[in-house]
Amino acid sequence: MKINLKQIISILLFLLITLNPVLAIGQEYDPKTTTQKFTSALQIINFAYVDTVFEPELVEKAIIATLKELDPHSQYISKKDLQKANEPLEGNFEGIGVSFQIYKDTILVISPVPGGPSEKLGIMAGDKIVKINNENATGKFLDNNYIFKQLRGKKGTTVNISIYRKGKKKLIDYTITRDKIPIHSIDATFMATPVTGYIKLNRFSRTTIDEFRKAIAELRDQGVQDLILDLRGNSGGYLDVAIHLSDEFLGSGKLVVYTEGSSSPKKKYKSSFRGEFKKGRLVVLIDEGSASASEIVAGAVQDWDRGIIVGRRSFGKGLVQRPYYLPDSSVIRLTIARYYTPTGRCIQKPYAEGYEQYHKDLAKRLEEGELTSADHINFPDSLKYYTPRNRLVYGGGGIMPDVFVPWDSTKYTDFYVDLLSKGVFNDFVLEYVDKERKSLNKKYTSFDRFNELFIIDDILLENFQSLAKNKDILPGDGEFEISKELIQYQLKALIARNLFDFNSYFRIMTQIDEGYLKAKEVMENDSYFAELIME
């Protein structure tokens, strides 16, 4: 869509006046130093600049730069990127319904989505898509963008694919009718102990509450009494979904969160009588990657003495964004308010030092030792708050856990990081499972049997090291031994994921997960829950 100079000026005026909360409430300003100045500058550029100006790109850069001056979370999203940005939060996309990886220049099906169009036609894990619409789909040109473009599409449209399946002499042809494919917000649901359930939530999307209630129902069938809710690495999502999830744990009529901004009057959000887990012990896991909606839930649980927060201080993203559509259907997600927990704590960490410094905060926390020791975190008296049961909690940005779990950086050697970042784990597991899938499926008929009996032995480790060596990834002195246990669990978990489901990966990796193990330890200690409110 071609945007002319007049439209550029209109958009900048919109940014300066309509979206500026100070100007919007009537502060005097001089057009000669604002709107007219923008107009003149753009007219001069358009008239006299040495090269031809591509106006749409110019206006996008102007908007992006303007928003960066406001706060770190106001954001511009172009029309073409909007659907991709919304998909994880809407909880679905339209396509054929397969999880895949590119393996040796070929599209390898990791697993069909349960209930999706591919599964219904009999497409299986391990199948290789070699043709799409009768054209070759293998080779160096393959990338995710190409695959998405070919396999995704509007619901009801069709795509023809040809599949190579080991043991079959001829390619298998399928005509697949695309459909809505769910993007799940829950990664894992299982029983951590005979009475304690575990749910890992990766985002707050439109499907989250339905998924959560389904997960709780499954756990109830297995005898759940207490719950570990894992929000580590969960960067947030919709505000109303965070409120509804908090509602699952709190008694009726309790303040969950309130928002307030210069142009946004104070608004309170309270819990209802509904909820699937208002009784029973609750532990919430957070870390430096838990942000926004995750912090709303953790803050409400902590402030109402409903559960124990375990982990490390959360990210500190407490700014509320609202989408505003521009004339070309692009969007500005503009910050309009701040979040506050029930005790009045502001979740947002400071950002006065600017955009760049703000996004270096996690590196700064690591350098200053905050991620490895709670003793390196100091709060002034002005940031101290108290819950109804007189428990001390802290403001100042993010949620400080009740029980601190240090990040053990020692086992994450440079060698291990290289193995991950350069895809050695995935390459090894894909090749291994591709060769051994039939015998593995025959020997391990269930995850429980696999978990109990399958061992990453010395032969597998030697083969894995050989692949790493072929990719010029070599351990430094002692690095292999330091990371050996982590490597073994990562390999076993990835093999389980390929053979069974995504849930299996977490069931294995949590066995050496310090945060998860500390959550189980806290859950079994009566003293932590003596002062809490469990209806």
Query: With contact defined as beta carbons under 8 Å apart, do 487 and 464 qualify?
Result: yes
CA dist list (Å): 57 to 40, 63, 71, 443: 18, 10, 22, 58
Environment class of 217 (CB within 10 Å of its CB; exposed 0-12, middle 13-18, buried 19+) = exposed
Query: With contact defined as beta carbons under 8 Å apart, do 96 and 122 qualify?
Result: no
Backbone Cα Rg of the chain = 26
Closest by CA to 520, choosing from 232, 196, 234, 187, is: 196
Strand, coil or helix: what is 470? helix
User: Which residues, listed in sequence order, are joined to residue 398 by a DSSP beta bridge?
Assistant: none
Among the listed residues 200, 278, 317, 518, the single catalytic one is 317
Among the listed residues 7, 78, 99, 321, the single catalytic one is 321
Told to judge if 290 belongs to the known catalytic residues of this protein, a careful annotator would answer no
Told to judge if 166 belongs to the known catalytic residues of this protein, a careful annotator would answer no
Closest by CA to 227, choosing from 256, 248, 203, is: 248
Closest by CA to 438, choosing from 126, 171, 161, is: 126
- Cβ neighbours for 489, distance < 8 A, ≥ 6 positions apart: 508, 509, 511, 512
How far from each other are the two terminal CA atoms of the chain, in whole angstroms? 57
Told to judge if 292 belongs to the known catalytic residues of this protein, a careful annotator would answer yes
Q: Count CB-CB contacts under 10 A for residue 355.
A: 14
Among the listed residues 246, 271, 290, 292, the single catalytic one is 292
E-assigned strand segments in 328-390: 331-340, 384-386
E-assigned strand segments in 326-472: 331-340, 384-386, 392-394, 403-404
Residues tagged active-site: 292, 317, 321
